[in-house]
Amino acid sequence: MTKDIIKSYEYRKFLGRLKEEIIAARQKAYQTVNKQLVELYLHIGNSIYEKIEVSKWGEGVVERLSNDLQKEFPDMKGFSSRNLWEMKKLYETYKNNQKLQPLVAELSWSHNVVILHQTQTMEEKEFYLIIEPK
């Protein structure tokens, strides 16, 4: 009976360690995917900025791009015209700020959008980019 108790305790301890490792790995995977997604959104924002502001394509390109991306990637969300405008705005906001650019990719897209719209100055944005939970 004592042997069963020891085995049971050892097993629970073993299981507990594996659960912690699984949870940590899942969190790390989520953070990696999130970072890639926000970096993609920044790239898309840059591309839209280039076409509208530099190449003078006109704002109608965003609606067409939204429709085409949604058709090409029906299993993905995030390509509404509203979201594409948010990507452009995010890019424009941080394009000249090498200090804050890396922090943007550390937060979720929804956190970035909130910071983008709920703050006025770059100092406020920096404050929230730094204190947001990673």
Largest CA distance in the chain: 80
Question: Which pLDDT score, from 0 to 100, does residue 4 have?
Answer: 75
Mean pLDDT over 64-68 rounds to: 97
Map tokens 């200090």 to a residue: 99
The pair of three-digit structure tokens given for residue 16, joined into one six-digit string: 């507990």
Mean pLDDT over 40-49 rounds to: 97
Domain membership flag for residue 102: yes
Domain membership flag for residue 110: yes
Q: Model pTM?
A: 0.84
CA-closest candidate to residue 38, choices 124, 101, 122: 101
Question: Which pLDDT score, from 0 to 100, does residue 113 have?
Answer: 96
Amino acid letter for position 52? I
Angle at 33 between CA 131 and CA 84, to 5 degrees: 80
Say if residues 85 and 117 touch (Cβ distance below 8 Å): no
Binned at pLDDT 50, 70 and 90, residue 8 comes out as confident
The pair of three-digit structure tokens given for residue 99, joined into one six-digit string: 């200090």
Domain membership flag for residue 19: no
Domain membership flag for residue 79: yes
Report the number of distinct structural domains present in the chain: 1
Domain membership flag for residue 55: yes
- pLDDT digit string (tens) for 23-40? 999 999 999 999 999 999
Domain membership flag for residue 30: no
CA-closest candidate to residue 132, choices 97, 116, 108: 108
- pLDDT digit string (tens) for 68-120? 999 999 999 999 999 999 999 999 999 999 999 889 999 999 999 999 999 99
Structural domain for 88, as ranges: 36-131
